[in-house]
Amino acid sequence: MSEYAKDYGIDELMIVALAREMKDGEKMYLGAATPIGVVATQLARVTHTPNLVCIYGMWVNPDPYTNYMAVMADPTAFKTIKAEALIKLTDLHDLWQRGEIDFGIIRPGQIDQYGNINNSVVGDYSHPKVRLPGGVAIGDVAHLCGRLLVYVPRHEPRVFVKNVDFITGPGHLDGGKWRKELQISGSGPSRVITDLCVLGFDENSGKMRLESLHAGVSLDEVKENTGFPVIITKKIPETEPPTVKQLELIREKIDPSNSRKLDYRPRK
């Protein structure tokens, strides 16, 4: 049995929890500017999912020990990253529409009780208070990928809202039945991993459900930082910590430059 680490950071716990949701032999898609998602996928590939097919933007199966985040904007990065292939946007859309992408990873600006995702605007769409980075491919990923893995580096009420201001990517809308009725290939969000806990979704109502609490986090802390009531089971386990080997891989091989820290700001 692997030895669990004791000196891990919350960003590393999130990475490991995200990686554990990935299965060997799957195909996945991950967009730009998601360092924790990148490191989690790299970790999965060198541990329990050696046959995972990864599409990072336009890169297919880049070398898991290359700092993808540092070189992704470099026009000569194909040689630096040592990816197996480049994929055209048209081919990527074809894979989505054929239902061949098993999961996608998203970091939302807002997410609501049904897993609906907003990365467009805060406030009225025509006169927003804040304009977020935008949808890019979130609409396609949310509709067509087999499932969504969502991560939120700062679990707080302004992110976890009762109703998102704009639906950039649909989750389970207001009940979770619409995908089946419309024969949508994607099943929507399956896990939401934050700096406080891991959340899933109730199969009947489509509402968010608490799956585990990170070490040292109380149930009240999750409630105070969530803008809606989550479904709570009688016994809530502690999130499984990283192993010593996983931490070694993250720190020394996959992300020695700490790109994951660009995605995570510790609570004061």
Residue 68: pLDDT over 80: no
Residue 51: pLDDT over 80: yes
Q: Are 40 and 259 in contact (CB under 8 A)?
A: no
Task: Encode pLDDT of 243-255 as tens digits.
Answer: 999 999 999 999 9
* Spatial distance between the Cα atoms of 129 and 100, rounded to a whole number of angstroms: 37
pLDDT band at 73 (very low <50, low <70, confident <90, very high): low
pLDDT band at 182 (very low <50, low <70, confident <90, very high): confident
Residue 173: pLDDT over 90: no
Q: How many CB atoms lie within 10 A of CB 240?
A: 14
Phi-psi region of 61 (alpha: psi -120 to 50; beta: other; left: phi over 0): left
Task: Encode pLDDT of 156-167 as tens digits.
Answer: 999 999 999 999
The pLDDT mean for the chain works out to 91
Task: Encode pLDDT of 95-154 as tens digits.
Answer: 988 989 999 999 999 999 999 999 999 999 999 999 998 888 888 888 889 999 999 999
- pTM for this predicted structure: 0.94
Q: For every residue of 182-206, which 3-state class applies, written as one string?
A: CCCCCCCEEEEEECCEEEEECCCCC
How would CATH label the architecture of 104-239?
3-Layer(aba) Sandwich (3.40)
Domain boundaries, given as residue ranges, for the chain: 1-87+241-257, 104-239
Strand order in the sheet with 53-56: 85-86, 59-60, 53-56, 27-30, 103-106, 147-152, 189-194, 197-201, 208-213
Task: Encode pLDDT of 75-102 as tens digits.
Answer: 566 667 788 888 888 998 899 889 899 9
Q: Are 146 and 152 in contact (CB under 8 A)?
A: no
